Structure 1
């Protein structure tokens, strides 16, 4: 099994697109990239920890590759918005692909380069690609949120859903 960590705005909205794929063992909401140990949701949301909301994915590379995960990631975010995603604003919602090794770094950087050159976006792709840091699981009520709170999840994901439908239509990386 391998790990991947992606930050793309509200972690509630980042779970389902990965959780529903074959080869995914688990998707955990949490926090990474900051300076405070064991941060809480309220601390991260208030911008007091340097962390971003993220998802940690455990996957079987024999079934789904890191490259495929990166493709799914791009299609869930606005890679031209460095200061949040959709209605979620601030540094705790910044888009980042975290890598665990040189191969993941190479795949992420090449994918970002291809996306920039695709012409799909007129603005610069600003998603960061950074080394993975300690990942702190979020509180239990945040885990599998789309399953436990489908109505609230749907409301929170509406802007993202509309953006994805508008930008990606039938595009594929």
Structure 2
């Protein structure tokens, strides 16, 4: 084997290895999941402590107004929900696990909102971006319907995803930026008390 031939083989191996490495990195791109669970400050807080979740962004989706503001959404006239977009590493936490966890962070029996926040923007929903997510969400809902420790019907909808609009910067990670105000709001709103009354536990407490 000539030196040139050996060099060509070595170069080819490097290129192939580089290609494989790039492919592996590309296939490990973070997954996203979008849900509504009332106040997005609380939903963001509930999901950010889970291992495998890499980012949670508060925002708006499901309505008919482009680039809505918080004031517009909270008026109830845009059709948007307060939502969070959850970014996660599916090698560390699965969509199924996050879906099952979601139910125990909300009151899925309330058709009018969540806890002290009432109105269309505060209703619960899961938004699927493809048929795979739809199947996972529907399976999770069926599981909860068969095992829920209460008799009331679950009214949370499973809907096709629409454009996600990030909320204003002051809403992002509100629970860490304004921890005292957030803690008072969550307590006075009765979120954890209602969740515990429904499910027997507050699922998010194990992560905080």
TM normalised by structure 2 equals 0.79
Decide whether the 8 Å contact of 2:195 with 2:202 is kept in 1.
no
Match of 1:167 in 2: 198
* 5+ long unaligned stretches in structure 1: none
In 2: Cα distance, 1:149 partner to 1:95 partner? 24
Offset of residue 33 of structure 1: 0.1
Decide whether the 8 Å contact of 1:17 with 1:72 is kept in 2.
no
In 2: Cα distance, 1:27 partner to 1:170 partner? 23
> Rg: which structure is higher?
2
Offset of residue 162 of structure 1: 1.1
Q: Does 1:120 align with 2:143?
A: no
* 5+ long unaligned stretches in structure 2: 1-29, 204-208
How many residue pairs end up in the alignment? 172
Select between 112-121 and 134-143 the one with higher mean Cα deviation: 112-121
Match of 2:82 in 1: 53
CA separation of 1:170/1:34 partners in 2, compared to 1, >3 Å: closer, same or farther? closer
Structure 1 residue runs of 4 or more that deviate by more than 6 Å after TM superposition:
none
Offset of residue 168 of structure 1: 2.4
Q: CA RMSD in A?
A: 1.4
Secondary structure at the residue paired with 1:157? helix
Higher helix residue share: 2
Offset of residue 164 of structure 1: 2.1
Secondary structure at the residue paired with 2:126? strand
Decide whether the 8 Å contact of 2:57 with 2:172 is kept in 1.
yes
In 2: Cα distance, 1:134 partner to 1:156 partner? 28
Decide whether the 8 Å contact of 2:105 with 2:202 is kept in 1.
no
Match of 1:42 among 57, 71, 91: 71
